Structure 1
């Protein structure tokens, strides 16, 4: 199982809507509105890194209002 934070930039005024929609995607553990350079931070998990990548590209990035994502896999050192 792999987990990652997905940092999301949205169109102005879309953060709450994006967080609500993304939170319903299977594999998303949590989606929160935040302030700063990103508008929404998501914690997600998948069986493999490939599955995680597919989820981000095929599902998360397709949500209307998202302009950019940055996926940060969690590592245990």
Structure 2
């Protein structure tokens, strides 16, 4: 299992709608609108890195209102 945080910038006024739409996608654990340099933070999980990539590119990045994403895979350093 691969987990990642996906940091998303949206067009002005679109954060809540983007978070709600992403929250309905299979593989998304949570999607919340936040303040700061990013507008939405998503926690997602997939069986492997390839599936995670398909989730981000095919499903999340295609949502209207998203201008940029940054995917941060979770690593186990212990």
TM-score range, shorter chain: over 0.9
Q: Any stretches of 5+ residues in structure 2 without a counterpart?
A: none
1:33 maps to: 33
Q: Note the C-alpha offset of 1:34.
A: 0.5
TM-score, with structure 2 as normaliser: 0.98
Runs of 4+ in 1 over 2 A off after TM superposition: none
TM-score of the superposition, structure 1-length normalised?
0.99
Are 1:54 and 2:54 matched, yes or no?
A: yes
Q: Give the RMSD, CA atoms, in angstroms.
A: 0.3
Shift of 1:23: 0.3
**Stretches of structure 1 lacking an aligned partner (at least 5 in a row):** none
1:44 corresponds to: 44
Q: Hey, what does 1:68 align to over in structure 2?
A: 68
1:11-68 residue CA offsets vs partner (Å, 9 max, x unmatched): 0000000000000010000000100000000000000001000100000000100000
Equivalent residue number for residue 4 of structure 2: 4
2:20 alignment partner in structure 1? 20
Figure out how many residues of one structure are paired with residues of the other and give that number: 77
